[in-house]
Amino acid sequence: MRADLFARRRGLGAGMPHAGVSIGLMATLSAALSAALLLGGRREAEAVPAPAPTGTASGVAAAGQAAASTAGDDRRWYAHPDCLRAQGEVVGRDATQAMAAIQALEKSPSVELQACAHWLMIPFGVNELVFQGKSPALHLRTEARLEALFRFAMKHAREYPHLRDLAIEARMRRVRLLIEMKERDRAVKEAKLVEKMLASRAASPQTPSWQYARGATDLAIGSTSWPLRVLASAAGIKGDAERGYRLLNGLKATNTVYRAEALDVLHFFAEQDEEKPSARTLALVAERARALPKSAYYALDLAESWAALGRWDEAEQALASVRGVLAESPDAWSPRLRRRIYYVMARCAAEREDFATAQAELSRASKEQWGGYAEMIAALQVELDRNRVTEHATGTD
């Protein structure tokens, strides 16, 4: 009934505006890297096939290599059980609990867990972006966190060589941040540095950090149009989309913190030309929600994807656990996220003709102090009012 509205507003586009830069290479980097280089949303999509890696044989090989590279390696920070547990806490609803989990790792005598603590400030910052929106203050905090991550990695790189790749990742993410801050010259300079660092590491053993940095950069540049690839090449920045898909499909098969990161990037590029989510895109969204089940944002993204297809029962089920949290803790998350959740729940209830529940959920959405979704909320209210008048006139209320 209203699936077309979700098709236009689902996912990152809903409540998370991206910075737009109007010309040439910076336009491409700002659009592509806005998700791929910084970001990083329940129910299993049983009927939806899993996405096939680009280049089937090579994709499978990449997945096998990635799994092999982390097998028996769960003491390195990115696969450490304590780090994976903390990642789950960081994407949860309570910023205080998230920061406590990070600080506990910071105090660990283990350099690996300290590395995890520094890295987790990235998804922590993403949550700030989702919940609070962009601001100069958040940009400055993010820049300081990335600089701290880089310095920590370089400080310990001699004793822990795999941390060099973490340093590369920090610089790569900084490219996107500088674009967001409209620091174009600095962004191009940083991108050139990242390309040199990646090239110098190509012959060394690959770590998940390197695979993510290389793969995300490859997709961001290699997936652009031919004229913009020429501009990127002129700036000394290279990209190979096929290699990017191989690396990231490999990462999503690993039990590391980069699984969700890879799924974020793959989802971003998969949905670019879609009016509504394809089976492949929906499978990525569902897998991402399963990877971090405490993330309300990932659950909402999955629900909105189902709603875009008019699959209201699945959309409602995707938000069941999230709605349960709100029932117990009405102040969980942020006003903007709560407003979106309540609206989706209201729309789902209306579609199954439970108009009383729909009105209750819509009233909750209307009370949240965030202006987004105003058009959709108003339209649904008109529908509910019209239905109430009809029921009264026919004596069915």
DSSP 273-292: T-SS--HHHHHHHHHHHHHS
At residue 35, the pLDDT reads: 38
Where does the pLDDT of residue 126 fall: very low under 50, low under 70, confident under 90, or very high at 90 and above?
confident
* Residues 229/234/236/240 CA torsion (nearest 10 deg): 20
At residue 3, the pLDDT reads: 60
At residue 183, the pLDDT reads: 87
Q: What DSSP state is assigned to residue 192?
A: H
Which of 19-23, 53-57, 64-68, 308-312 has the lowest average pLDDT?
19-23
What is the C-alpha separation between 272 and 396, in angstroms, rounded? 45
What's the average model confidence in pLDDT over 117-142? 87
pLDDT in tens, 254-297: 999 999 999 999 998 888 767 788 999 999 999 999 999 988 98
Q: Kindly tell me if the per-residue pLDDT of 343 is higher than 90.
A: yes
At residue 328, the pLDDT reads: 93
Is 185 within the bounds of a domain? yes
Output the pTM of the full model.
0.76
At residue 132, the pLDDT reads: 74
Q: How far is CA 83 from CA 91, 167, 208, 209, in A?
A: 13, 18, 14, 14
Range of 168-177, 212-221, 359-368 with top mean pLDDT = 359-368
Token code pair at residue 346: 């209201």
Where does the pLDDT of residue 205 fall: very low under 50, low under 70, confident under 90, or very high at 90 and above?
confident
Is 306 within the bounds of a domain? no
Is 324 within the bounds of a domain? no
Is 255 within the bounds of a domain? yes
At residue 234, the pLDDT reads: 63
At residue 31, the pLDDT reads: 43
Q: Which residues contact 96 (CB under 8 A, 6 or more apart)?
A: none
Does residue 226 or residue 104 have the better pLDDT? 104
Looking at every residue in the chain, the average pLDDT score rounds to 80
Token code pair at residue 322: 């999230």
What is the C-alpha separation between 304 and 14, in angstroms, rounded? 9
Does residue 98 or residue 28 have the better pLDDT? 98
Does residue 223 or residue 61 have the better pLDDT? 223
* Residue 349 contacts residue 358 (beta carbons within 8 Å): yes
Where does the pLDDT of residue 187 fall: very low under 50, low under 70, confident under 90, or very high at 90 and above?
confident
Is 262 within the bounds of a domain? yes
Structural domain span for residue 178: 18-291
At residue 239, the pLDDT reads: 79
Where does the pLDDT of residue 20 fall: very low under 50, low under 70, confident under 90, or very high at 90 and above?
very low
Q: Which residues contact 169 (CB under 8 A, 6 or more apart)?
A: 149, 209, 210, 212, 213
Is 390 within the bounds of a domain? no
> How large a percentage of the chain has pLDDT more than 90?
49
Does residue 73 or residue 214 have the better pLDDT? 214
At residue 285, the pLDDT reads: 94
Q: Kindly tell me if the per-residue pLDDT of 394 is higher than 80.
A: no
What is the C-alpha separation between 210 and 201, in angstroms, rounded? 8
* Residue 241 contacts residue 222 (beta carbons within 8 Å): yes
Is 341 within the bounds of a domain? no
At residue 15, the pLDDT reads: 32
Phi, psi (degrees; rounded to nearest 5) at 129: -65, -45
Q: Kindly tell me if the per-residue pLDDT of 235 is higher than 80.
A: no
What's the average model confidence in pLDDT over 363-381? 94
Does residue 3 or residue 181 have the better pLDDT? 181
At residue 50, the pLDDT reads: 32
Phi, psi (degrees; rounded to nearest 5) at 395: 70, 30
Number of domains in the chain: 1
Q: Kindly tell me if the per-residue pLDDT of 230 is higher than 80.
A: no
At residue 82, the pLDDT reads: 96
Does residue 365 or residue 4 have the better pLDDT? 365
pLDDT in tens, 68-79: 444 445 689 999
Is 101 within the bounds of a domain? yes
Where does the pLDDT of residue 176 fall: very low under 50, low under 70, confident under 90, or very high at 90 and above?
confident
Q: Which residues contact 265 (CB under 8 A, 6 or more apart)?
A: 35, 36, 40, 215, 216, 219, 248
What is the C-alpha separation between 252 and 216, in angstroms, rounded? 13
What is the C-alpha separation between 292 and 285, in angstroms, rounded? 11
Token code pair at residue 118: 């520094």
pLDDT in tens, 31-53: 444 434 433 332 222 232 333 33
